[in-house]
Chain A
Amino acid sequence: MKKENIKLLAVTVAIFVTGLVMVYYVMENPTDSMVERMLSRENIWRAFREHLVIVGVSMAGALAVGIPGGILLSRPRFYYIGKVFENIVNIGQTVPSLAILALFYTILGLGFNTAVFAIWLYSILPILRNTFAGITSISDEVIESARGMGMTGRRILTRIELPLAAPIITAGIRTAIVINVGTATLATFIGAGGLGDLIVTGLSIRRNMIIITGAGLSALLAILLDFWIGQIKLRLVKW
C-alpha cells in the first residue's frame, strides 16, 4: 500500500477508535443516574445522527451552490459583480454564527429546516469566496496561452482553471466544514437537535461528563472531515 494511503487509513482509524473508546467509557462509568439516562446508547446515537444529517445536508447544498456560483462569478463578464459579492461575503462572514441561527429563527421559526438553511447559507460563503479567488488569481499568461492554443472555454475551465484553483477551493471547503460542524452544535437552540443537545443539557444540569461527550464527538467529527478533505487535496494537487 502507498504511504499516503497508510496515513489516510491510520488517522481515520485512530479518530474512530478515540470516539468509540470515549463513548464506551462514559456509558460504562456514569457518575449518576441522570448522566446514565442522558448518555444512553440511543441518546448519543440520536444526537450524533442528527448532527451528521445537519452537517451533511448543509455541506452538500453549500458545495452545490458555492462552487458553481464561484465559477460563474469568475467569468470575465461577471468579474465586477464577483468583486462586489466577495466583499458582501466577507462582511457576511463577520456575523457570528449564533446570530445567523437566531436571525433565521425569527423568520423561519423553530426546527431542523431552519437550522439546515442557516448553516447552509453560512457555509456557502467561504466556498464561494475561495472558488472565485482561486480562479481569478490564475495568471493571465496561462489563460491567454490556453486560448491561443485553441482550447475551448469549457476545456480551459476543466483542464486549467479548476485544477489550478483546486488548492484554494479545497482550503475554502475545509474552512466551511470546520465552521459547519461547530455551528451545528448551536442548532439545539432552535430545536434542531444534534450534539449540541448534549452540551446544553450538560450545562443546565451541571454534568461535565455530558458536556465533554458532546463537545468531544463534534470536535472529532470536525477533525475527521477536515483531514479527509486535506487528503483529497493531496491527491488532486500534485504540483
Chain B
Amino acid sequence: MIKIENLTKHFPGLDRPAVNKLSLEINEGEVCVLVGPSGCGKTTTMKMINRLHEPDEGEVYLNGKRASEMNQIDLRRGIGYVIQEIGLFPHMTIKENIATVPRELGWDRERINKRVRELLDLMGLDPEIYSDRRPAALSGGQRQRVGVARALAADPPVMLMDEPFAAVDPITRARLQNEFLRILDKMDKTIIFVTHDINEAIKMGDKIAVLREGELVQHSTPEELLDAPANEFVAQLVGRNRSIKRLHLIRVEDIIEEDADKYSVAAESGRKEIKDKLSESKVGALMVTDEQGCLLGRVDEQSLKKEGETAGELVDEIHDQVTADSTLNDSLSVMLESGEGYVPVVDEEKGFFRDIITLQDLLQEVRQG
C-alpha cells in the first residue's frame, strides 16, 4: 500500500539529516505507528508522504505509484490528515470544517450535508447540537473528534495522524483512543500514526516503527517489540515494566467470560436471591441491573443490613466501570483508583453489564504472557 524507499531529508542549517535513508513498507488496512523521541524524524517522515516536505532522496510509493509524480493537490486530497493541535479553522462552523475536503472536491450540498451528519454521528457528536457551533465552543476532546471526522470526510484510503490525541487529558485520551480503534475496526484504512508515547504506540499499532536520529531502528509488531527489542535503545524506550505494557495490548472483551448472570441481580430480586448469589460471587459483591441490563450499582453484605426488600432498594452507587473495548491497562488503573480488586465491564455501545474483571484475571494474563 505505502512503500517508503531510501527516504532522506536534510534541513538547511543542520549537520545531520532529519531522516536518513529510511525504508518502510506499510500494508493495506494496517496501523503503522512511528515512535521515537523528539527530533527522531517521525513527523518529517510523515510529512514527506503527503509532500508537505519534499524528500531530498528516495521515494514514497502509494499503491505502486510514485508520490513525487502525482499532482500534489490531488495527492493530499486523497490522504486524511490530522495534526497535533488539530488545526480546526476557528472561523468556520463544525460542519464547514468537516466539509473542507468534500468542498474542495466539488461535492454537491446534499451529499456534503449527509456525509457531515454521518461523521458527527460516528464520532458521537449530535449533529443537531454541534453542526453550527464553532471550534471555540467545543471541549478539547470534542475538537479532536472533529479533527478526525474532518480527515475522514472524503473517505480517504490513507490517513496520516500526528499525535492526534496529545493535547487532551489522560482520561479523555484513553477514551478517544478506544473510540478511534472501534471506529477503525469498521473501516479499512491504512494509517500512519506518529507519537512519542510508547504506550500509545503499543495500544494503537498493528506495527510499530521505532525511529532514532532519522533512522529506522526496529519495525515489528507490538508483541515482538516487547519480547525482543532490537537493541539497547529500543529496550530503554519500551522500559523495564514490559509485562505491564503488555496489558495495553489486550482488550477486556478478549478475556471476559460473559458471566453477567453470575455476578448480577435484577433490581426487583429479593433478599433471598441476593444472599444465594452473594455466596457464589468470588468478589463478595453483586452488580444490580435494570430491566435493560444496564448497571444501577452494587450490593454486598453491608447493603443487606439496610432497610428494604429488593436489590433496587438496597443498591449502593458505583462510580467505576470500564467498557468492553478498554485495554487491560485501563481496567488496572481503574482498580487501583477505586481500591477494589475488581471492576464491572459494560458494553461500549449499549451500556449493559457484561461481566466483571478482577485483579486475578490480570495477574493470570501477565503470567501467561
CA gap between A149 and B134 in the complex, in Å: 19
| Pair B76/A147 contact, Cβ less than 8 Å | yes
| Pair B76/A145 contact, Cβ less than 8 Å | no
Q: Cβ of B75: which chain A residues have Cβ within 8 Å of it?
A: 150
Interface residues of A: mostly helix, strand, loop or mixed? helix
Q: Is B128 engaged at the interface, CB distance under 8 Å to the other chain? A: no
Q: Cβ of A146: which chain B residues have Cβ within 8 Å of it?
A: 87, 89, 100
Known A239-B91, A239-B134; judge A149-B83 contact (CB<8 A): no
| Pair B87/A142 contact, Cβ less than 8 Å | yes
Known A145-B81, A148-B52; judge A237-B91 contact (CB<8 A): yes
Q: Is B39 engaged at the interface, CB distance under 8 Å to the other chain? A: no
| Pair B90/A145 contact, Cβ less than 8 Å | no
- Count B-side interface residues using an 8 Å CB cutoff: 29
Q: Say which residue of A139, A149, A237, A238 sits within 8 Å of B104 (CB atoms).
A: A149
CA gap between A163 and B76 in the complex, in Å: 23
CA gap between A155 and B78 in the complex, in Å: 17
| Pair B90/A142 contact, Cβ less than 8 Å | yes
Q: Is B331 engaged at the interface, CB distance under 8 Å to the other chain? A: no
CA gap between A145 and B153 in the complex, in Å: 14
The minimal Cβ–Cβ distance linking B166 to chain A, given in whole angstroms, is: 12
Beta-carbon contacts under 8 Å, B84-120 to A: 84-92, 100-101, 104
Q: Cβ of B83: which chain A residues have Cβ within 8 Å of it?
A: 141, 144-145, 148
| Pair A150/B87 contact, Cβ less than 8 Å | no
Known A155-B104, A239-B134, A239-B136; judge A149-B91 contact (CB<8 A): no
Q: Is B323 engaged at the interface, CB distance under 8 Å to the other chain? A: no
Given A141-B87, A239-B90, 15 other A-B residues pairs in contact with their CB atoms under 8 A: A139-B85, A142-B88, A144-B83, A144-B87, A145-B83, A145-B86, A146-B100, A147-B76, A148-B50, A148-B83, A150-B73, A150-B101, A164-B90, A237-B91, A239-B91
23 CB < 8 A contacts A-B: A139-B85, A141-B83, A141-B85, A141-B86, A144-B52, A144-B87, A145-B87, A146-B87, A146-B89, A147-B52, A148-B50, A148-B52, A148-B76, A149-B150, A150-B75, A150-B77, A151-B104, A152-B73, A164-B89, A237-B91, A239-B91, A239-B92, A239-B136
